[in-house]
Amino acid sequence: MFRYTSAVKNRTFLVTAAALAVAACVASDSSKPTPRAHLTGQPGRVVLLSLDGLAAVRHRENLRRGLYSDPEGLAAFEAGGYVVEHAIPVDPPLTSVSHASIASGAFPSTTGIVSNAFHVPHAPLFQGVSGFETPWGAESLWQAFRRQGRRVGVLTFPGCDATSPSRTADFGMFYVNRPNAPAALVTLAATRFTAATLPPGWTSFSPARRTTITVPLVGEGAPAAVTFTLTALDDTDDGITDYDTLVVDDDEDPATGTRARVHSGEWFPLSVRIPHRDGGVRTVGAWCLLQALPPDLAGVRLYRGAFFSTEAYPREFRELLEEKAGFWPGPADERSLARTLAGEDGLGVADILAQTRRFSEFFDACAAAAIARERFDLLMLYQPVVDEVEHGMLVVDPRQREYSEGLAATGRAAVDEVYRVADHAVGRLARELDLSRDALVVVSDHGMAPVWETVDLNQLLQQAGLAEAEQVVRAGRDAKVWRVKASSRMAAYASGGCAHLYVNLKGREEGGVVEPGEAAAVVGAAAAYLAGAQVDGQDVVEAMFRREDLARIGLDTPNAGDLVVFLRPGFNGSSQIRAPGAPFHAQAEMYGQHGFLNSHTEMAAVWLARGAGVPAGRASEASLTGVAVFVADLAGVQPPAQAHR
């Protein structure tokens, strides 16, 4: 019933041994500051960059293929830095979980971050929390440095979002998830355009035509809507009325709005300036694509990107970032790409890669501004672009949605390109530093595996008679949605390849229904049912762990499930529940996923370092829990209090 493979057990102890070995190499006496090894004797700086999703297996293959071209990029560490060929993330290898362990040096049993979404005791069974927003139970690197009088900057590294003193650095930028306006596809009929009088200096060889688009905005200080003027011009003196240029202005205040002159296939920004709660003003903007500009204006088509602003602290640093890097451009629009792959209107792969490069270059510019203008001992950085492209384009298996040889080739090219983007980001960062005095550490949080089927864990629990479904109206939605009923005996919270299953225990969960003496039977019934779950003759579940066995994988915390389930690679876990009798699985909408057992080589991450004080060396394998001690030792400070040594 409970399958604990020898690979899992061996890897668990191997990771522990590797972490101890690394700690011994770089911090033989962590109770005392280690002298720095730079040439000038002046205080140096350590920069830690996390490249979300950069997989060790693909990175090693890229090195063999000569994919990287930046002389200061990812390949440069091979020449004389510190290289861990396979950095092993904690279980489960998920973004919030892994970053908490990287930054604290502690396992999830201490950090309390067990998944990207999970349940905590004393809450109703159907109520979950985010692993990105939940406070950690362990000290972080930024806390440890600041406690010892050192100055720290943190730019979007998960866990440091300025929501509390423990999650705030001396200066920083936090990740913006909620746009002021969502992205939209806008189609304009020719009748929308009316005759326009051109300002002095403007030229059109056919009568100019003009229309407006209005964008509703939400957010503190934002107007209810902002209007932009689109003026179509004919730039070709050929005696034919054929519009080929679009000029975009802020209709409310052309002097302060964005003016762009674009042609079909070109990107352009829209923006508006509004008050900021820190007393200054901020730019809220979107990157847009003129997808089609017919000569007769019959069906002008725009992709109007989501509106975001850069959020950072203190005010002076936020204004610096806005000056040097602009407004937060937002991630690539994976949903729009999915629509295109499904034969609907959306963005193509080239458009997604353009968004990806822009997002990475924004992070690059922010890092450069911080390095040039801020004083710090530690700077922690994060970029999500590799993870995002792999989720959307890791097309390698015929069982995946819309698979074809052509799509697989396109996917390979897209993933190669995003690794080149990461290579350039590392190279630019290295050039901003003086590596005779500064140290650069580059890690990732997990690798990536292909998936082709999504499994609804709560639907399986409903089939097993352990969960019930109900329909409710959620805030901001008109239609009812399904959720696990509060009186259910068990509920699952799934993220990627892992799911935490919680018994609705009396005295622990609000409104709990299961007597403590019955909990083991509920766990056993769930495990027995899940062990038999198959799709096309293949078992869905690879391994399961009871709560009393979670210490073996570093997950023994009250936040963990009473039963922790790891799916086989290829299966993506979902927390959805549907109407009784509905199927428990469907073809996965994404192509790449993580969160599977860390014993799979596809989950291995990278850990690279070079520069001042970095010991030259190579390890075939080490736990990412050793990174915090490594970074602290380089800077000559004591590591976080609960760091694994």
- pLDDT tens across 246-293, in order? 999 865 454 445 578 999 999 999 999 999 999 999 999 999 999 999
Model confidence, pTM: 0.91
The band of 41, judged by pLDDT with boundaries at 50, 70 and 90, is very low
Rounded to whole angstroms, the Cα distance separating 161 from 168 reads: 6
Contacts of 37 (CB under 8 A, 6+ apart): 612, 613
Give yes or no for residue 537 having a pLDDT over 50.
yes
pLDDT digits (tens, 9 = 90+) for 470-489: 998 876 666 788 999 999 99
Cβ atoms of residues 313 and 378 within 8 Å? no
- Mean per-residue pLDDT for 552-561? 97
- Mean per-residue pLDDT for 417-421? 98
Cβ atoms of residues 303 and 332 within 8 Å? no
The band of 47, judged by pLDDT with boundaries at 50, 70 and 90, is very high
- Mean per-residue pLDDT for 233-256? 80
CA atoms within 13 A on the CB side of 80: 6
The strands making up 585-587's β-sheet, listed across from edge to edge, are 571-574, 453-456, 585-587
What pLDDT is recorded for position 477?
A: 65
Give yes or no for residue 15 having a pLDDT over 90.
no
Considering the chain, what percentage of its residues have pLDDT values greater than 90? 86
Residue 468, Cβ density class (10 Å: 0-12 exposed, 13-18 middle, ≥19 buried): middle
Contacts of 108 (CB under 8 A, 6+ apart): 90, 91, 97, 100, 101, 114, 554, 555, 557, 560
Rounded to whole angstroms, the Cα distance separating 478 from 488 reads: 25
Mean pLDDT taken over the chain = 91
CATH number assigned to the domain covering 1-123+131-176+310-446+606-645:
3.40.720.10
What pLDDT is recorded for position 257?
A: 52
For the chain, give every domain's residue range.
Answer: 1-123+131-176+310-446+606-645, 182-308, 453-587
Give yes or no for residue 117 having a pLDDT over 70.
yes
**Structure tokens of 313?**
């602290």
The strands making up 260-262's β-sheet, listed across from edge to edge, are 194-195, 209-216, 225-233, 245-250, 260-262
Rounded to whole angstroms, the Cα distance separating 207 from 186 reads: 23
φ, ψ (nearest 5 deg) of residue 626: -80, -10
* CATH architecture observed for domain 453-587: 2-Layer Sandwich (3.30)
What pLDDT is recorded for position 21?
A: 30
Give yes or no for residue 19 having a pLDDT over 50.
no
Nearest to 172 by CA among 323, 430, 383, 380: 380
The band of 16, judged by pLDDT with boundaries at 50, 70 and 90, is very low
Contacts of 323 (CB under 8 A, 6+ apart): 369
What pLDDT is recorded for position 445?
A: 98
What pLDDT is recorded for position 473?
A: 84
> In terms of pLDDT, which residue wins out, 432 or 10?
432
What pLDDT is recorded for position 476?
A: 63
**Structure tokens of 298?**
């019959």
Least confident span in 257-261, 318-322, 505-509, 602-606: 257-261
**Structure tokens of 492?**
């699952």
Nearest to 319 by CA among 307, 331, 311, 308: 311
Determine how β-strand 300-304 pairs with β-strand 281-292.
antiparallel
Distance of CA 531 to the CA centre of its chain: 31
Cβ atoms of residues 563 and 545 within 8 Å? yes
Please name the residue that has the structure tokens 């829990």. 625
SS3 letters for 489-535?
CEEEEEEECEEEEEECECCCCECCCECHHHHHHHHHHHHHHHHCCEE
CA atoms within 13 A on the CB side of 337: 26
Amino acid at site 252: E
pLDDT digits (tens, 9 = 90+) for 327-353: 999 999 999 988 888 888 999 999 999
The band of 433, judged by pLDDT with boundaries at 50, 70 and 90, is very high
**Structure tokens of 326?**
């602009």
**Structure tokens of 253?**
């205040």
Rounded to whole angstroms, the Cα distance separating 41 from 375 reads: 17
pLDDT digits (tens, 9 = 90+) for 156-211: 999 999 999 999 999 999 999 999 999 999 999 999 999 998 888 889 999 999 99
- Mean per-residue pLDDT for 429-452? 97
Residue 60, Cβ density class (10 Å: 0-12 exposed, 13-18 middle, ≥19 buried): middle
**Structure tokens of 592?**
């790449």
Give yes or no for residue 35 having a pLDDT over 50.
no
DSSP H or E stretch at residue 557: none
CA distances from 176 to 148, 179, 219, 380, 530 (A): 30, 7, 12, 17, 37
What pLDDT is recorded for position 128?
A: 96
Please name the residue that has the structure tokens 């451009």. 329
Give yes or no for residue 636 having a pLDDT over 90.
yes
Angle at 487 between CA 481 and CA 489, to 5 degrees: 105
What pLDDT is recorded for position 343?
A: 86
Rounded to whole angstroms, the Cα distance separating 559 from 569 reads: 24
What pLDDT is recorded for position 474?
A: 75
